Chain A
Amino acid sequence: MSLSKIRLPKGMRALVLIISAALVYGFLNAYSNRLLLPSAPFIALRPQVVLPFFLGLVFGPWVGFLTGFLGNMIGDALCGYGCWTFWNWHIANGIYGLLPGLACYFGLKEIRTLRRFVIMETIVVATNLVAIGVAVLADLFWLKTMQFPESLNSWILPALITNIVLSFVLVPLLLVFVKFIVITVETRITLVLSWLIVSIVVISATAVTWTVWNDLTSQAASVQAFYSAGIVTVLVVIIGFLISVFLAHRITDPLANLGQAARQIEQGEYQLPVLDTLDKRSDEFGQLATVMRSMASQIEARETRLKNQVAELKIEIDRTKQDEDVREIVESDYFKALRQKARGFRTTSRIDKEEEIKDATPKDDESSSI
């Protein structure tokens, strides 16, 4: 399932996509409210926030915006808040799909490099800031339902952080799944490191928050928080180490296979089963493996061609020139005299040898050949 093969929906198809996505989004909004952050009891943990973002990035601004906008409306309606009460949040959710949609519109098609990965993560942060900023400003100037700046700490910041962190983890995951992010060595390292960083932040923050939350009255609360943070750091270091070992293996194993393949080519083996899994990878190793395989088959073809050429090789002799050269030698007086002498030598040596044989052993095979 390659993304380049997915055609952007038009007309009815786009409508069906938007409505079904909005329904899913609204439904998830209405029923995921039980996942609450301990430090901010009014902010739900909403993993579905990545849905409009993802659809916008893949299918463009309209699909993204309408999914967020309508989805939030449906969610509010299901919760009994009414369709239009918090209209500013409909717009905010729409923006979650609109900005990545614009990025898609302006050419962010496939993420292979670190640069594009950074652009994508920047859009994640920008989208969250703009969306929540718009909602808060609309509330301040028109709805006037919250107190500012009290609500900054109680829910604006927690909501912002929660959404950014979730987007950081989940958006790349989804994009990898649909191959919008192509796994290359660059993107793999970036993904692993970004997830690692996010998990460090989330785990340590959660640990600290839980300690403070559960033991608010104790004097030892802050000390306890440091301990917890320390333990978390150790765990993160260990996990990070394990991940780096894994990562290193993911890089060195294919290198070893490529080396093995090169050795086989050196020895004239061109089938290269050692590359069987490697050349299906989409990363640089996969590309190298593919090139190596095609190189091997080229070499084999060239070798076969050469062999065939050689089989056709002819021994060509200019018979006229040969006759001339031979005649020049054999018709010389020297040659004639030499031949005469040679004949004489052979006769005498034959007689010598025959006598020798008579004297010594019975006649054997050698005498007949001389």
Chain B
Amino acid sequence: MSKIISIHSFRGGTGKSNTTANLAVSLAQMGLRVCVVDTDIQSPGIHVMFQLNPKDIKFSLNDFLWGKCEIEQTAHEVFTEDSKGRVFLIPSSMRTGDIARVLKFGYDIQLLREGFMNIISKLTIDVLLIDTHPGLNEETLMSIALSDVLLIILRPDAQDYQGTAVTVEVARQIEVPQMYLLMNKVPDLFDKTETIEKAQEAFTCPVIAILPHSDEMMMLASNGIFVRQYPDHPITREIGMVAQKILG
């Protein structure tokens, strides 16, 4: 039985795409078949994490939404673990014309849902991860509405707090079954337990993990998958725990 998980942050620069990619690999390493959908059509980026060359992308999510192809034609296998674990990536188009077109006309939730359902059944996907666009525009709300789990990423930062509070409330109104907060780029000086308690109290939402501000992670930032490069790193273990918890 498969799960749809949206990964969202109110503002950019929280490490959302990075966390999504790492979470995907971590789930695949557990033997699951994972599909990452880049619905951040306005500013796609996660393909860089998986070192997918834009020239090798024949069909993107945009092409599916305009009826140019079937959804399974857009999925690119980007990671293989043993015989079972897989990560597929459905990228967004990098062409500015395509981006402008989506911005102008938008797309239909029914179609998006069909796409998700089809890819899940065609590729026997266990977990569908949706990398959303920051903010709360219509497409993002659509992704959240279709999800079983919403993972909100935030930094310890006043503006992130305010935006996250709004997102949590909106997601609650849209009746997302499960919601978690993940605090990223938290300096070591913060007391972990206390930060978790305070965040849970302020947002009335469980905190799934506190990830430190790591120089190694910064260095690798958008240039490779951290959990692959540093299999024994505490951050890798932490992401593994997030993967476990998110599966329920």
Contacts and interface: CB of A to CB of B under 8 A. Distances in A.
Contact of B173 (A303, A316, A339): A339
B202 A315 contact: yes
Main secondary structure of the interface of A (DSSP, over half): helix
Main secondary structure of the interface of B (DSSP, over half): helix
A303 B188 CA distance: 11
A310 B1 contact: no
Interface in B122-160: 136, 138, 141-142, 145-146, 148, 156, 158
Contacts of A326: 166, 169-170, 173
Interface residues of A, number: 35
B146 A329 contact: no
Contact of B248 (A334, A338, A346, A369): A369
Place the interface of chain B in its size category. Answer: 35 or more
A342 B177 contact: no
Interface in A296-317: 303, 306-307, 310-311, 313-317
B216 interface: no
A343 interface: yes
Contact of B142 (A314, A338, A346, A356): A338
B174 A339 contact: yes
B11 interface: no
Interface string B189-212: 111001000110011000000000
A334 B138 contact: yes
Interface of B: 1, 3, 109-110, 113, 136, 138, 141-142, 145-146, 148, 156, 158, 161-162, 165-166, 169-170, 173-175, 177-178, 187, 189-191, 194, 198-199, 202-203, 248
Given A334-B141, A357-B1, 16 more contacts: A310-B189, A310-B191, A311-B194, A313-B198, A315-B161, A317-B202, A322-B169, A329-B166, A330-B170, A335-B141, A338-B138, A345-B146, A346-B175, A356-B1, A370-B148, A370-B177
16 contacts: A306-B189, A307-B191, A313-B156, A313-B190, A313-B198, A315-B198, A315-B203, A322-B165, A334-B141, A338-B174, A339-B145, A339-B174, A342-B145, A353-B1, A366-B1, A369-B178
